[in-house]
């Protein structure tokens, strides 16, 4: 089997790691082994962070919708339930945007939700 020295491949791989580690403190940005450990750790946090971001935004939207619904005399759960009963199919991102940017439009949605709740109880 022929001997392989891996010159360019090795250099490219190490260069990529060291570029990703630029900005890290002391040896973590200069020495390959430390840089590799730090970069891998950072990538692990980034992976988890991309999933946390989705949770945090959904939570924020729910808080905004709940606050706007309370101003119009409904709880969050009643509001969502009423919308489902009336067949309004808006996601929480859009509802939160409406609550912040267009209170009049949100109020009309609340009225629809109230009619859906009233119709559901009868």
Rounded CA separation 120/117 (Å):
5
| Cβ burial 55-83 (10 Å sphere, 16+ → b, else e) | eeeeeebeebbbebbeebebebebbbbbb
Other beta carbons less than 10 A from residue 115's beta carbon: 13
Task: Compare 49 and 10 and report the one with higher pLDDT.
Answer: 49
- Please determine, for residue 116, whether its predicted confidence score (pLDDT) is greater than 80: yes
Average predicted confidence (pLDDT) for the chain: 94
Q: What value does the mean pLDDT take over residues 70-99?
A: 95
pLDDT value of residue 122: 42
pTM recorded for the entire structure: 0.79
Please give the domain boundaries of the chain with CATH numbers for all domains: 7-121 (1.10.1900.20)
Specify whether the CB–CB gap between 17 and 36 falls below 8 A: yes
Rounded CA-CA distance 68/74 in Å is: 9
> Residues 44-52: contacts with CB within 8 Å, 24+ apart?
none
Q: What is the mean pLDDT of residues 34-55?
A: 98
């Amino acid at each position: 089997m022929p001997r392989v020295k891996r010159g360019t491949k090795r250099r490219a791989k190490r260069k990529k790691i060291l570029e990703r580690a630029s900005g890290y403190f002391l040896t973590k940005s200069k020495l390959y082994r430390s840089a590799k450990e730090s970069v891998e750790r950072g990538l692990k946090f980034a992976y988890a962070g991309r999933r946390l971001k989705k949770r945090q935004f959904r939570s924020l939207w729910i808080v905004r919708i709940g606050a706007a619904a309370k101003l119009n005399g409904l709880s969050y759960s009643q509001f969502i339930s009423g919308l489902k009963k009336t067949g309004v199919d808006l996601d929480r991102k859009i509802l939160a945007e409406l609550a912040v940017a267009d209170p009049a439009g949100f109020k009309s949605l609340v009225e629809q939700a109230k009619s859906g709740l009233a119709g559901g109880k009868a």
